[in-house]
């Protein structure tokens, strides 16, 4: 079961990282176009700044799940490392469960937030803001899935026995 959770987490992470890479590429191109427009072409395009903002939000929100999958978020372990191994394992599982409850909360209330964007329109595009606001519940839901998978995979042992990384960067 732990191996299956690790494989599924890795597959989801690879897909999310590919999506984030595409979003970042689009972000760079849109910002580059905005700079070229402002200083060279003087077309006065109104949309590059807005599109760049929403691309950055989606990329940043989705990237959180990648950090969860790889256990690369910042953690203060000085106190935790002083504890006996069993107590440390129990505490780390508790922290994962608290993180899980946080992301469940954000996903649940993020749905209402995304729905509140349906009647609102982006002034420049004239489209609903719902797809842009959806970054919150979508990313939080992916984080929930990743947290469940890494919780099963690690069972609070990720400080004592960090997940191994193969040649391709997969855990």
Domain membership of residue 38 (yes or no) is yes
Strand partners of residue 128: 121
Tell me how far apart the alpha carbons of residues 91 and 132 are, in angstroms, rounded to a whole number. Answer: 36
pLDDT at 24: 97
Task: Please give the tally of structural domains in the chain.
Answer: 1
Dmax (CA) for the chain in angstroms is 64
Q: What are phi and psi of 127, to 5 degrees?
A: -115, 160
- pLDDT at position 2: 85
What is the pLDDT at residue 62? 96
Determine how many CB atoms are found less than 10 A away from the CB of residue 62. 20
Q: What is the pLDDT along the chain (171 residues), one digit of tens a residue?
A: 889 999 999 999 999 999 999 999 999 999 999 999 989 998 888 889 889 999 999 999 999 999 999 888 777 777 888 888 889 889 889 999 999 999 999 999 999 999 998 988 877 778 888 989 999 999 999 999 999 999 999 887 777 666 565 656 555
**CA-based nearest residue to 70, from 136, 154, 132:** 154
Q: Is residue 87 part of a domain?
A: yes
- Is residue 134 one of the residues assigned to a domain? yes
Look at residue 169 and tell me if it is in a domain: no
Structural domain includes residue 160: no
According to the model, what pLDDT value does residue 20 have? 97
Residue 170 lies in a domain: no
Global pTM reads 0.84
Q: Quick one: residue 169, left, alpha or beta (phi over 0 = left, psi -120 to 50 = alpha)?
A: left
The predicted structure's pLDDT at residue 162: 60
Helices (H), 37-47: none
CA atoms within 13 A on the CB side of 36: 6
Q: Is the separation of the CB atoms in 54 and 132 below 8 Å?
A: yes
What is the CA 44 to chain-centroid distance, rounded? 33
Assigned domain for 101 exists:
yes
In a domain, 17, yes or no: yes
Supply the range of the domain harboring residue 106: 2-154
């Amino acid at each position: 079961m732990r191996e299956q959770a690790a494989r599924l987490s890795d597959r989801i992470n690879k897909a999310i990282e590919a999506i984030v890479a595409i979003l970042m590429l689009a972000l760079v191109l849109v910002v580059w176009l905005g700079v070229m427009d402002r200083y060279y072409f003087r077309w006065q395009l109104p949309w590059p700044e807005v599109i760049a903002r929403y691309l950055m939000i989606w990329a940043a929100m989705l990237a959180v799940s990648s950090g969860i999958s790889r256990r690369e978020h910042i953690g203060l372990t000085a106190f935790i490392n002083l504890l006996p191994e069993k107590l440390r394992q129990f505490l780390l599982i508790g922290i994962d469960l608290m993180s899980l409850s946080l992301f469940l909360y954000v996903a649940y209330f993020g749905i209402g937030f995304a729905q509140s964007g349906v009647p609102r329109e982006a002034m420049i595009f004239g489209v609903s803001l719902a797809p842009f606001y959806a970054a919150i519940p979508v990313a939080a839901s992916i984080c929930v899935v990743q947290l469940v998978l890494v919780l099963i995979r690690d069972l609070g042992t990720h400080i004592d026995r960090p997940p191994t990384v193969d040649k391709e960067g997969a855990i």
